[in-house]
């Protein structure tokens, strides 16, 4: 679906031309009819010619007021248009709002349009000089179109009164629309509301030019920025009931349970959780050569985006002022939130006296905070975001955020989700972005499926966090050489940086470090791969002495207390960690080989005899009741034996 917007000086014949093209008089207010002046937006539609016998495409027309007092109404309707019908009365030629409207079309980067040189009957009626006059006006028009998006627009001579040139005008409009690429369907519709009214028996109706996705009857919707929830009861395009409204079309949405005073022009209707309104935007602004004055830091302007109008304070970035004809980076603070995405165009005007100053493009709709005014890295970021290839935009956004979910990346960059998913693998492959959870060794980083929850981490943040983590494990090893490793909780409590990021980041990072072999995890402890417990010479001597005591009578070894006294608590704990010693009760400990021998002998005895008692075991191992009781209870606990009264069997 397509929408054409009119533009041009007041009284130059826009509404008359729309009526001649469509048969619909677009002015809707009684006051307008009485004053013969378009004050607010008017709407009409027509079917364009087609190459074959089929009926041609239907296009909507937004007719805008030309009077300078109503320029701001014009801006509410011009935002979503595909092509301009730029109307200039042949008897008057280029007038002030001819220029102002052209400047606005150019700032909004409306790439397509047709100039209707209308009222040509008046040239003859007023005896202005016929063909010579018309050629003069045409060359004047060519002059003002130079260096604007409409530079190459066709000029068609028409008269809304006599109907002359109307069919040529239709063909010219059709030609310029058929050159345009299709309207993107990004699966997240947004409808900037340009009219709200109620119809008896139906309730509230909102209209606007639908962008970026489809709306369906029955859809749950939300009105932003306030966040009022509602449901679509019905949809109309060009007064026709439709089940689905497609991107690019003029759309009327009948919603339930919301009264008209809850909604105003400029609000945006969208699906829930698809757009986040913002009060702060990073922009690139261009000032018109005839803006009259430069923009200073902290100046206030009226900001027009979509169908909305908000007072904004401008913070200049990297410059002291923007002079007429110049451009620059700014961050604006808005009096109330707007829905904006990267790449949206906007206009700024001086509040009073009203004058169009310039406009530009949204570079970051959700900046991370208030920028320092003269920060080079921020200016570089803005440059990459505005001029970069899609890959550069993705990379820049990930680098700025450090870490974010794939779904948030799609939102922040305002890029097509499919495109984001397509481009990410090359960033993984080049190592500039790390994906978490880590892909399994058997999977290819390129082809492993991405989900909306996949975490994306910039290389620099990854390096910082992972090397800090490995370093803290290393320093733990130096501080506690007799400990095998450190628990995840302990590591995390030492790494404050993680508190700024999603909790998953730490767990996923530890998993990846382990998968990559940078850390070894055994049980609850992690250690560096080359870490070994090493004893000092004097500790080794103590250990040897202790081992000799074990050898003296392996089945009646020294108690835990005696061991700790002999080598120290730390060394004893290390011997347990190394599994040189095996603890079977709080008091009883064996050497590993002695323990293994005892266990296999108990098993052998049970294989042969079926059951064993404490007394039998005591006799078998020639030791005291204290040891065998501890050993057998330990075997019960680890599931080797099962106790039945005084006897035990194999489990
Ligand atoms: P708009 O303000 O640009 O929408 O202008 P309108 O369409 O309201 O036209 C302004 C006046 O010019 C009206 O009185 C129209 O009747 C008249 N008008 C518009 N087009 C023509 C035309 O082609 N020929 C003549 N003679 N008068 C026209």
Domain end among 253, 270, 287: 270
In a domain, 528, yes or no: yes
Q: Are residues 477 and 621 in the same domain?
A: no
Of 534, 549, 583, which one is at a domain's C-terminal end?
A: 534
- Domain boundary among the residues 178, 198, 226 is at 178
| Position in ligand 1 atom list of the atom nearest CA 119 | 23
pTM for this structure? 0.70
d(CA 449, CA 437): 11
Residue 95 has pLDDT above 90, yes or no: yes
Q: What is the mean pLDDT of residues 241-267?
A: 93
pLDDT in tens, 50-64: 766 566 778 999 998
- List pLDDT tens digits, range 346-367: 999 998 888 999 999 999 998 8
Domain membership of residue 104 as a residue range = 2-178
Percent of the chain with pLDDT over 90: 65
Nearest to 188 by CA among 221, 224, 213: 213
Model confidence at 314: pLDDT above 80: yes
Cα 61 to averaged position of ligand 1 atoms, centre (Å): 17
Q: Are residues 530 and 545 in the same domain?
A: no
- Among 6, 15, 16, the mutation site with the greatest number of ligand 1 atoms within 8 A of its Cβ is 16
Mean pLDDT taken over the chain: 90
- Label residue 214 by pLDDT band (50, 70, 90): very high
Same domain, 262 and 326: no
- Beta strands 321-322 and 308-317 are unpaired
Cα 16 to averaged position of ligand 1 atoms, centre (Å): 5
Q: What are phi and psi of 9, to 5 degrees?
A: -65, 155
CATH of the domain at 449: 1.10.10.10
Using CA atoms, how far apart are residues 421 and 425, in angstroms rounded to an integer?
Answer: 8
Residues 645 and 547 both lie in one domain: yes
Residue-wise pLDDT tens digits, 362-400: 999 988 889 999 988 888 888 878 877 888 888 888 887
The helix/strand count (H/E) of the chain reads as: 20, 35
pLDDT of residue 628: 93
**How far, in Å, from the CA of 161 to the mean position of ligand 1?**
8
Q: List pLDDT tens digits, range 426-462.
A: 888 888 899 998 877 666 666 667 888 999 999 888 9
* Per-residue confidence (pLDDT) for residue 53, from 0 to 100: 55
Distance 163 CA to ligand 1 centre (A): 12
Do 301 and 288 touch, CB atoms closer than 8 A?
no
If you take atom 24 of ligand 1, which residue's CA is the nearest one? 119
Residues 259 and 305 placed together within one structural domain of the fold:
no
Distance (Å) from CA 9 to ligand 1 centroid: 11
Look at residue 413 in the predicted model and tell me its pLDDT.
82
Q: Give a yes or no: residue 184 inside a domain.
A: no
How far is CA 175 from each of CA 7, 59, 171, 246, 608, rounded to the nearest angstrom? Answer: 19, 13, 6, 21, 99
Evaluate whether residue 598 is within a structural domain: yes
Instruction: List, chain by chain if needed, residues with CB within 6 Å of any ligand 1 atom.
Output: 8, 10-16, 36, 38, 66, 118-119, 121-122, 159-161
Together in a domain, 243 and 298 = no
List the one residue out of 375, 395, 393 whose CA is nearest residue 385: 393
Confidence band, pLDDT 50/70/90 cuts, at residue 30: low
pLDDT at 79 (0 to 100):
81
Decide: 213 and 186 in contact? Cβ < 8 Å. yes
CB atoms within 10 A of CB 629: 15
Q: Which residue has the higher pLDDT, 502 or 168?
A: 168
Same domain, 101 and 144: yes
Residue 26 has pLDDT above 80, yes or no: no
For ligand 1, what atom is nearest to the CA of residue 36?
A: 8
Q: How far is the CA of 50 from the centre of ligand 1 (A)?
A: 28
Among 180-194, 375-389, 551-565, name the most confident range: 551-565
**How far are the Cα atoms of 615, 634, 636 from residue 641, in angstroms, in the given order?**
16, 9, 5
């Amino acid at each position: 679906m397509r929408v054409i917007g009119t533009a041009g000086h007041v009284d130059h014949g826009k509404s008359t031309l729309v009526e001649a093209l469509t048969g619909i008089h677009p002015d809707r207010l009684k006051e307008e009819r009485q004053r013969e002046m378009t004050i607010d937006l008017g709407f009409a539609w027509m079917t364009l010619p087609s190459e074959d016998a089929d009926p041609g495409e239907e296009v909507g027309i937004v007719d805008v007021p030309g009077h300078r007092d109503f320029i701001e109404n014009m801006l509410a309707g011009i935002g979503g248009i595909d092509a301009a019908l730029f109307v200039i009365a042949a008897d008057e030629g280029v007038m002030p709002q001819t220029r102002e409207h052209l400047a606005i079309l150019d700032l909004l980067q409306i790439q397509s349009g047709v100039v209707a040189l209308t009222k040509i009957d008046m040239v003859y009626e007023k005896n202005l000089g016929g063909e010579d006059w018309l050629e003069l006006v045409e060359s004047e028009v060519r002059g003002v179109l130079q260096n604007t998006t409409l530079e190459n627009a066709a000029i068609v001579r028409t008269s809304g009164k006599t109907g002359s040139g109307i069919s040529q005008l239709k063909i010219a409009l059709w030609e310029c629309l058929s050159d345009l690429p299709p309207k993107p369907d990004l699966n997240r519709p947004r409808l900037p509301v340009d009219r709200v009214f109620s119809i008896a028996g139906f309730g509230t109706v909102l209209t606007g030019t639908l962008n970026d996705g489809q709306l369906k009857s029955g859809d749950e919707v939300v009105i932003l920025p306030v966040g009022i929830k509602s449901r679509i009861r019905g949809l109309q395009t060009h007064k026709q009931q439709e089940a689905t409204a497609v991107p690019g079309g003029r759309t009327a949405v009948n919603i339930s349970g919301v009264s008209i005073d809850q909604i105003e022009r400029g609000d945006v209707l969208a699906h829930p959780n698809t757009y986040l309104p913002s009060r702060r935007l990073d922009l690139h602004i261009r000032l018109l050569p005839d803006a009259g004055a430069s923009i200073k830091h902290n100046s206030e302007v009226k900001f027009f985006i979509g169908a909305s109008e908000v007072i904004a304070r401008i913070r200049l970035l990297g410059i002291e002022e923007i002079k007429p004809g110049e451009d620059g980076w700014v961050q604006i603070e808005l009096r109330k939130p707007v829905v904006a995405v990267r790449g949206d165009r906007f206009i700024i005007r001086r509040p009073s006296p009203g004058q169009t100053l310039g406009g530009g493009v949204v570079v970051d709709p959700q900046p991370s905070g208030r920028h320092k005014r003269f920060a080079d890295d921020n200016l570089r970021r803005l440059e990459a975001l505005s001029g970069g290839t899609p890959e550069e935009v993705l990379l820049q956004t990930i680098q700025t955020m450090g870490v974010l979910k794939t779904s948030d990346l799609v939102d922040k960059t305002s890029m097509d989700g499919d495109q984001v998913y397509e481009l990410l693998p090359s960033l993984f492959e080049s190592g500039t972005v790390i994906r978490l959870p880590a892909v399994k060794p058997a999977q290819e980083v390129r082809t492993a499926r991405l989900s909306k929850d996949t975490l994306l981490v910039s290389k620099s943040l990854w390096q910082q966090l992972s090397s800090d983590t490995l370093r803290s494990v290393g320093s733990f090893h130096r501080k506690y050489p007799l400990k095998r490793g450190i628990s995840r909780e302990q590591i995390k409590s030492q790494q404050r940086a993680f508190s700024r990021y999603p909790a998953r980041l730490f767990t996923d990072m530890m998993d990846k470090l382990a998968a990559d072999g940078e850390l070894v995890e055994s049980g609850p402890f992690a250690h560096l791969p080359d870490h070994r417990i090493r004893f000092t010479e004097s500790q080794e001597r103590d250990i040897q002495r202790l081992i000799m005591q074990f050898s003296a009578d392996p089945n009646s070894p020294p108690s835990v207390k005696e061991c700790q006294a002999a080598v120290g608590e730390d060394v004893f704990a290390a011997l347990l960690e190394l599994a040189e010693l095996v603890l079977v009760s709080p008091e009883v400990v064996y050497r590993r080989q002695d323990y293994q021998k005892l266990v296999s002998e108990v098993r052998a005895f049970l294989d042969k005899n079926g059951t064993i008692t404490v007394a039998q075991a005591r006799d078998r191992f020639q030791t005291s009741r204290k040891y065998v009781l501890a050993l057998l209870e330990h075997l019960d606990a680890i599931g080797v034996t099962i106790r039945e009264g005084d006897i035990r069997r194999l489990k």
